[in-house]
Amino acid sequence: MNAPDQTATQAITPEQAQWVAQLFATTADAVEQAIHGKRRVVELVIACALAGGHVLLEDVPGTGKTALARALGQVVQGTSSRIQFTPDLLPGDITGITVFDQRAGAFEFHPGPIFANIVLADEINRASPKTQSALLEVMEEARVTVDGTSHDVGSPFLVIATQNPVEQAGTYRLPEAQLDRFMVKTSIGYPDQAAMARILQGDRSAQHPLAPVVTTGMVTQAQDLITRVHVSPLVADYAVRLVEATRRASEVRLGASVRGALALVRLASAWAAASGRHYVTPDDIRDLAMPVLTHRLVLEPEAEFDGVTAAQVLGQVLLDISAPQENGTA
């Protein structure tokens, strides 16, 4: 799969969008060998990677959260690491530490496991808030500052974090500032009947390493192309109106942030290119609003007591805010 010619000052062409779509489909097909019957979730995670974001997978145990992250790390020909978060994990165990080399007579930086293209942060809510905060800078700026010196983690860079929503003993709630760093929050869910039957009938494909199908260079080129997907003023205005409506909702204490609006448009651009289009449509914005914005809403205590969820609030916002009647090319 050869990358198309690209000029930084030009908008993405339909041919370049088709190349991104081919890369997207090839990657999704490879990952689906390990995750059966969850094409939508697989595509959402890959689109997030191409958009330069990070993913939070929240689901019950045994649904394949770790397997999904591991499979993506295998099909992308780059570096990957896994960090098992525990209560005694320290920030330096993630970012790395500076050690004095007696022979050289100087301090030397030893990078931590965060220095990889794809990082699996397993059970992230089991670490203390101090350790979780070690991810704030690197998830936003793709670099780590240790002892006053910044170190780039490289590109592409994707954090896939998992957490268990039902077992709360020994866990810490993720602070809003860190939740806002995740472009997408989603869940895998249990497999359907057909996929479960294939698993029980001895399909062991997930037990063997998957062959790489794309390189990090190809991912980086696709990310650059996605930044040049056309977003018309009407589509951008639709995203703004959705975000502002979350802030005005009576059940919401803290609505979606500016980072959330940017994440929505960026992911919609990746989703459009993954569909072979060089422009974003209102449907892209509407279809992706739930996984991008829900986890950014902080509800009023009274609303939570009444059983109101962020998904219900956002669902009503999507009904109340009308989408522009255009295909996104204007």
**What's the whole-number mean pLDDT along residues 127-151?**
88
pLDDT digits (tens, 9 = 90+) for 287-309: 999 999 999 999 999 998 999 99
Digit-coded pLDDT (tens) for 22-52? 999 999 999 988 887 888 999 999 999 999 9
The domains of the chain, with CATH numbers, are 14-205+212-223 (3.40.50.300), 229-320 (1.10.8.80)
Is residue 239's pLDDT more than 90?
A: yes
Determine contact, residues 77/95, Cβ cutoff 8 Å: no
Q: What is the mean pLDDT of the chain?
A: 88
More reliable by pLDDT, 206 or 183: 183
With 50 as the cut, is the pLDDT of residue 206 above it? no
| Whole-number percent of the chain with pLDDT over 70 | 93
Q: How large is the average pLDDT for residues 161-184?
A: 81
Distance CA 264, CA 290 (A): 10
Task: List beta partners, residue 254.
Answer: 298
User: Which residues does 183 contact at the CB level (< 8 Å), separation at least 6?
Assistant: 48, 51, 53, 54, 55, 263, 266, 267, 292
Confidence of residue 330 (pLDDT cuts 50, 70, 90): low
Distance CA(264)–CA(246), nearest Å, equals 14
pLDDT at 101: 81
**pLDDT number for residue 7:** 47
List, in order, residues 6 or more apart from 71 with CB less than 8 Å away: 30, 31, 33, 34, 35, 206, 210
Q: Give the residue among 322, 303, 305, 323 at the shortest CA–CA distance from 313.
A: 303
Q: Which helix (H) or strand (E) holds 185?
A: strand 184-186
